[in-house]
Structure 1
Amino acid sequence: MYDVIFNVALHSFYNGIAKESYNEFREVSKTYDEITNGGKSWDFGSHTKEENQVYQRTNHGMQKHCIISTVFFVMAIESLINEYGSVYLGEDQFKDKEKLGIMDKITEFYFEVKGSKFPRDKQLYQKINDLVSVRNNLVHSKPITIDSRMMMKNTKEADEQFWGYINSMFGNNKSKLSKQKHMYEVLKQSYSTYEDLRDFLKGVDTRIKS
């Protein structure tokens, strides 16, 4: 009998859960588009009680599956990064960096392998950053104070403040309107981010397994 040492990580399992929830999100989104005629604003006063209930269930379903998928995608990415760091750096050196944030882990571990900075201009880096930002907003949710007087004003400033409130809860937490991304948008662009990062890291070091 031979003693065999191998790594076991949960990133593939987490990614599978994220994909399942994403597919549910996509299906519910189709229903949402149908009942809102392509995502138009819903007027509760002009619909029946039953129609409003269908809308609320559908909207809730989209939010639920989006949140589950987002959280598990980030769990998959962090687990993958942790395996990569553990395999490449060794347990002792990895422990020194274990408490770093996800984006810092990615850049630190990449530097250790390549001796150069992670290319932050790559779409991959931005997708991961957006995904992590949304996850952090969801997981570390804080109450917000809304100025109703400002919301009543029909001005650009009021519009930006309103969407800033929404973005601070369900987005990438950017104050500038042009840089804001809602969690739905971020999730849709992130479907293959785990695989893209895994393939990228495999190209750097062949010890990473799928």
Structure 2
Amino acid sequence: MNTQFVASQSVEITVPEEPVPIQHYLRQPQRLVHAIADPNLIKPISQERYQLQLRPLNFLSLTFQPTVTLKVWADADGTVHLSSVGCEIRGLDYINQRFALDLKGKLYPVQNDGVTQLKGKADLKVNVDIPLPFSLTPRPILETTGNSLLKSVLLRIKQRLMHQLLLDYRHWANQDAPILIQAQATEAFTAKG
């Protein structure tokens, strides 16, 4: 029985003022990847692609651990985009062959009366062919259980993002960024001369 589960999560974070605007920070999307998940569960594949191993999930009496390949990139205005480009469920071949995950997310800065806020939204959709005996479970129960599971995954990511992103940004803006900006300015000055 093919079933679709969906969940969405919005986020709004007020950004404290730092020496370097957050738009500069957001142009380094790899920092965002480390803000949404435990760095031990992330493996860089290329400059824009990362493999993220989710924590084990329980659905009905099945426990599984998806590994999602994410593409993460930033626009010049600091908008960060995130999109799943692959997913694998290790250890459950039957489910792995009948499982599709689609994650799309966006985070962008907004200026309002001198206050910067980050606004974003993530949409997660999973299509799976539910095997017997689980497919005998009434569809409304399956959908409620699956949608709740996806919502909990997005909520966990949101909570980590809200806490970790501001900590990392503050650290970057006060320690790493001034050095980086000075190096870029020196490089530009040298290139002119």
* TM > 0.5 fold call: no
TM-score of the pair, normalised by structure 1: 0.27
Q: TM-score, normalised by structure 2?
A: 0.28
Larger radius of gyration: 1
Structure in which a larger fraction of residues adopt helix = 1
The structure, 1 or 2, with the larger RCO (C-alpha pairs under 8 Å, 6+ apart) is: 2
Between Structure 1 and Structure 2, the one with more strand by share is 2
